Structure formats: structure tokens, C-alpha cells
Amino acid sequence: MKKTTDENSLPPAVAIVVAGGSGRRMGGDIPKQYRLLGGLPVITRTLGVFEESSSISGIIVVVPVEGGSGHVMEAVASRGFSKIRAVVSGGSTRQESVRNALAALNHSVGIVAVHDGVRPLVPVDLIDLCVREARKYGAVVPGIPVADTLKSVDGTGRIRVTVEREGLWLVQTPQVFHRHILQDAYDRAFADGFSGTDDAVLVERTGVSVVMIPGSRDNMKITLENDLARAEEILTLQRDVKQGRRAANPVHQRVGFGYDSHRLVEGRKLFLGGCQIPYDRGLLGHSDADVLLHAIGDALLGAVGAGDLGRLFPDDDPAWKDISSTVLLETIRSVASGRGYGVHNVDATVILERPRLKLHIDSMEEAIARLLGVEKERVSVKASTNEGMGFIGRGEGIAAFAVVSVAGNEHDDGVM
Ligand code: MG
């Protein structure tokens, strides 16, 4: 395996990949870590990313107690993985499994990265970042800030309380630690009979502070049957980006155009550009009908050649009923970034007779910029009336036009 001089001088980082679950939640006879994703077993894909990571020098795989090593050995043989140092038997819990793997570590190991075998789409950059930060801080986990509203529900299905989501993160793996910190945490948990649902919690209770760093939305855990289909999509997009990166000229600019209109009705709130605008009527639609975000979303999809809003979020799909269009735009942004594109700038015009938008333009531009991950200066929102003509002039509806330009790596369809 190739290493840079710099990495050679550091204590090695070893990954513990836990493929020890029996996958009962997913149903079916084959545990989920052995199901096929893009033609390869999930676990093979996961191991492949760690094999590829320049910051990982060895891998220990934990397999289920009952006859689990066969698949892993097959993967190792078929893919020519060179970093697998040991295949150890899992325990009855994840915690026991990791403990078994820690016991198999060579003494020279300085950093340990514990990863779920069923997170095959972890970007190699994220592994490298976690290892780098763990060398600095001692204990690092990746995560994603919670975007949905959280409710605590009682046993009868009634909401007890809405949980403040500020400061709440969904935790991913790899969770990466100085080896002695993790070993100490596991020893103490064992001595105290404490069991936790991840590695960080064991470290937290020893008083060591654990640093949270931004993870990746691609880094999903394959738990349910549906997850495999979603993972296939992400895998395709990841491949596209990779292909794009290999293109001779890596920077491409493209432009997309979008139009949308919705009917104004009583009894609905008015959302425009991700902001709620005070008005006695609102726009009618399957989602919150934010006509401006829809036009921008369509323009962005058009720019990256990924279809349109209706195809991505069918209006007969209950999943999108009454959903905030901010979620739709965030999803579209990740589709674009999955294809290797980021937004360069947005120009949009909302056409309506009332209400006056002058006071809201600034907050709309700010909200759109935040959703698209660009500076506010790159977002322009304008408003115009229709001089009393047509459906807009009669106040029956609102329309929006948008142009979005993107820059990035062109993806290469059809190449594996
Ligand atoms: Mg619409």
C-alpha cells in the first residue's frame, strides 16, 4: 500500500468495520450487509472505501458469529483488498463486537475509526477528514444537523411535546478516536455494565469531549428494504461525479430556466422564496406551493439535466403533501451536487398584483442563498405586477420565472 512520508511518521489509523448484525429489521433471508448494491455486496462496497482511503492503513472486519466470514473472505479475494488485517467474530451486541475487534488491534495503532458495515456510501473524503480531525482532537464523530421538526410521542400515539431541534444532530460513522481513549472508554463501560448505541457515548461518559463535524447526506445507513433503492441512486450520482472529475476540462457552466404558477386561495398561508409573507390568501398546491422556490428548483434541475420538479416529487405522492418547498429545494441542490454541480447564481422574477414584496425581497434572497449554499450576492429576486392583465392581474394567482446558472464537473452518463 502506498503512503506519503507524512503519513508514515504518524501512528497508523485502523478501521473497525462492524458487519456483525443479523439484519433482522430488513426482513428476507440475507443479512443486509450482504445484499447487493450496484452489483456488489454492501459490505464489499463499504470495505472498498476504506481500502481506497489514504489515511487508513489497516481494516479489521467484525462478522456475525454464525457463519459470517465467508462473504467477507470472498469480497477480500474477489476485489484484491490488501488492508484487511483480521476478520473477527462479532458479539451479541454491537458494543461487544467492537470490543472484540479492539482486542485484535496491534499495539502500534494510534487511531481507531469505527464504522457501520451498512454505510457503504461513506465518501472517502469524510473518512480522511475524520481521521485528520481525530488526530487533532482525540475524539471525532460526523453528523448532520436535524432539519425536521422533532416530536416526543407517548404510548397512545399522541404528541407529548415538540422537541427544540436547535443543537441536535443525527450521528453517523466513522467515529474516530485516539486508540487509548476508545480502549479506556470500552474498558470502563464493560466494568460498569454500561451499554450504549454508539461508540461516542462510551467516550462521552469518561469525560473526554467529542467533536462533531459535518458528515455527508450520502452516508446513509441501510436498514430498511427501501434504503437499498435510495442507496442505488446515490451510488449512481457518486459515480457520475467521479467520472466528471476525470474529465479533461473539469469546470463546466450550464444554465437552466424555470417557470411556475399557483392559484391564490383563502385559508392558506402565503410562502414565497422560503419566507412566509403576511397576506389574507395563500397559494394552493400539493406542497406549500412556494411558486418562487418551485421556479428556481425547476431551473436548477434543468441546468443539471435532471428532469423537473413533478418528476422528482410527484404530486400524487403523499410524502410531499404540504411539505415545505425549502426541503424540495435542498433535495434538488443535493441532486445537483451529486452530479458535480454547485449553484453559481440565481435570477428570478415573481409576478403578482398583491401583496407588495418590497419589504420581503431581502429575506427571500437570504433564504434562497442559504438553501442553495451560496452568498446572498449571487441571488437576485425581483417582483413585477401584470398591470391588471390576465389571471395575475385579476389576483387569481402568482407566477414566477427563474434562471439558475451552475458550475462544476460534467457527469458522464453511461460510463461505469
Ligand atoms: Mg409548483
Of the given ranges (31-35, 101-105, 214-218, 407-411), which has the lowest mean pLDDT?
407-411
Q: Give 6 Cα–ligand 1 centroid separation in angstroms.
A: 53
Q: Give 380 Cα–ligand 1 centroid separation in angstroms.
A: 20
Q: Give 283 Cα–ligand 1 centroid separation in angstroms.
A: 9
Q: Give 315 Cα–ligand 1 centroid separation in angstroms.
A: 9
Q: What is the pLDDT of residues 300-330, one digit of tens each?
A: 999 999 999 998 888 888 888 888 999 999 9
How would CATH label the architecture of 7-243? Answer: Alpha-Beta Complex (3.90)
Exposed e or buried b per residue across 31-70, where buried means at least 16 C-beta atoms within 10 angstroms of its C-beta: bbbbbebeebbbbbbbbbbbbebebbbbbbbbbbeeebee
Q: Give 261 Cα–ligand 1 centroid separation in angstroms.
A: 6
Query: What is the average per-residue pLDDT within 112-127?
Result: 95
Q: Give 316 Cα–ligand 1 centroid separation in angstroms.
A: 13
Given a cut of 60, whether residue 1 has pLDDT beyond it is: no
Query: Domain 252-408 adopts which CATH fold?
Result: 60s Ribosomal Protein L30; Chain: A; (3.30.1330)
- Give the pLDDT score at 303: 96
Q: Give 253 Cα–ligand 1 centroid separation in angstroms.
A: 26
Cα 376 to Cα 209, 221, 331, 369, distances in angstroms: 35, 34, 20, 5
Identify the top-confidence range among 40-49, 183-192, 400-409: 183-192
Of the given ranges (11-15, 67-71, 221-225, 247-251), which has the lowest mean pLDDT?
247-251
- 283: amino acid identity, one letter: L
- 182: amino acid identity, one letter: L
Q: Give 414 Cα–ligand 1 centroid separation in angstroms.
A: 31
- Give the pLDDT score at 412: 41
Q: Give 311 Cα–ligand 1 centroid separation in angstroms.
A: 12
Query: What is the average per-residue pLDDT within 53-68?
Result: 86
- Give the pLDDT score at 244: 60
Q: Give 399 Cα–ligand 1 centroid separation in angstroms.
A: 9
Q: Give 20 Cα–ligand 1 centroid separation in angstroms.
A: 45
Q: Give 254 Cα–ligand 1 centroid separation in angstroms.
A: 23
Cite the residue boundaries of each domain of the chain with CATH code 3.30.1330.50: 252-408
Q: What is the pLDDT of residues 383-392, one digit of tens each?
A: 999 999 999 9
Cite the residue boundaries of each domain of the chain with CATH code 3.90.550.10: 7-243
- Give the pLDDT score at 26: 45
- Give the pLDDT score at 25: 44
Of the given ranges (109-113, 198-202, 244-248, 250-254), which has the lowest mean pLDDT?
244-248
Q: What are phi and psi of 138, to 5 degrees?
A: 95, -35
Q: Give 285 Cα–ligand 1 centroid separation in angstroms.
A: 7
Q: Give 323 Cα–ligand 1 centroid separation in angstroms.
A: 12
Q: What is the pLDDT of residues 223-234, one digit of tens each?
A: 888 899 999 988
Q: Give 218 Cα–ligand 1 centroid separation in angstroms.
A: 27
Given a cut of 90, whether residue 130 has pLDDT beyond it is: yes
Of the given ranges (15-19, 163-167, 353-357), which has the lowest mean pLDDT?
163-167
CA–CA distance, 125 with 241 (Å, rounded to integer): 13
Query: What is the average per-residue pLDDT within 202-213?
Result: 96
